[in-house]
Amino acid sequence: MVMRLSFTLDPELVDMIDQYAGGRSIKRDKAILELIEAGITHIREGGSIKIEQCRSFEEFEILRKTIDELRAEIVEMQRELRSIRHTVERERDEEAGVVPFQSRKWWKFW
């Protein structure tokens, strides 16, 4: 049974696949299949494959998650700061007390 798969590739890797396909005069999908089969054959024959580079889309995803977490932390800090400011202002007003003329509206003086 044939399966259709979808995956994400870096532009550099796509360029390398396209160069391989161009050199063999085949389409990209055929080139990808040949390269996958060659890699599997290489592993079955006792070879190993080193993958040391982190894909740029993976790095982007990690950065995006980190930025989202930082954004959530900043929002939480803003809420906390507002709460602290409100508490401090309320305590200050309670300590100062209210001067009688400040509690009356200006039109009540006339």
Residue 4 within a domain:
no
62, 87: one domain? yes
pLDDT number for residue 100: 56
The parent domain of residue 22 ranges over 9-49
Confidence of residue 81 (pLDDT cuts 50, 70, 90): very high
41, 71: one domain? no
Nearby residues of 12 by Cβ (< 8 Å), 6 or more positions away: none
pTM of the model: 0.46
Residue 110 within a domain:
no
The encoded tokens of residue 76 equal 């939480």
40, 64: one domain? no
Q: How many domains does the chain have?
A: 2
